[in-house]
Amino acid sequence: MSSLILSFLSLLLLFSPSLSLDLQIQHVNRRLPSSPLDSALFLARSDSSRLSLLTASTKNVPLASGQQILNTPSYVVRASIGSPPQSLLLSLDTSSDAAWVPCSPCNTCPSSTLFQPSTSTSYSSLQCASSYCPFFTGASCADPATATSTPCSYTQPFGDSTFTATLASETLKLGSDVIQNYPFGCVNSFTGSTANLPKQGLLGLGRGPLSLLSQTGSLYNGVFSYCLPSYKSYYFSGSLRLGRLGQPAGIRYTPLLSNPHRPSLYYVNLTGISVGKVNVAVPLNSFNFDAMTGQGTVVDSGTVITRFTSLVYAALRDEFRRQVNAPNGYSSLGAFDTCFSTNDVVQTPPVTFHMTGLDLTLPVENTLIHSSATPLACLAMAEAPGNVNQVVNVIANLQQQNLRVVIDVAQSRVGFGRENCN
CA angle 97, 359, 366 (to 5 degrees): 70
φ/ψ bin of 377: left (φ > 0), alpha (ψ from -120 to 50), beta (otherwise): beta
C-alpha separations of 25 from 54, 128, 284, 317, 329 in Å: 22, 35, 39, 32, 38
Q: In what order do the strands lie in the sheet with 368-370?
A: 331-333, 336-341, 376-379, 368-370
Identified catalytic residue from 22, 38, 47, 300 = 300
d(CA 195, CA 248): 36
Cα radius of gyration rounded to whole Å, the chain = 21
State how far the alpha carbon of 214 is from the alpha carbons of 139, 208, 220, in Å.
Answer: 21, 7, 9
Q: Residues 212, 384, 198, CA angle at the centre, nearest 5°? A: 35
Catalytic residue from among 22, 38, 93, 97: 93
From start to end of 70-176, where are the E strands? Answer: 74-81, 86-93, 99-102, 124-125, 153-158, 161-174
Q: Are 377 and 339 in contact (CB under 8 A)?
A: yes
Residue 9, CA distances (Å) to 16, 86, 108, 229 in order: 39, 33, 33, 10
Q: Is residue 300 flagged as an active site residue?
A: yes
Q: What are phi and psi of 183, to 5 degrees?
A: -75, 140
The type of residue at 143 is D
Strand order in the sheet with 351-355: 278-279, 270-275, 351-355, 358-361
The separation between the first and the last C-alpha atoms of the chain, rounded to the nearest angstrom, is 28
Asked if 344 is an active-site residue, the reply is no
Q: From CA 82, how far away is CA 180, in angstroms rounded?
A: 9
8-state DSSP, 39 = H
The set of catalytic residues is 93, 300
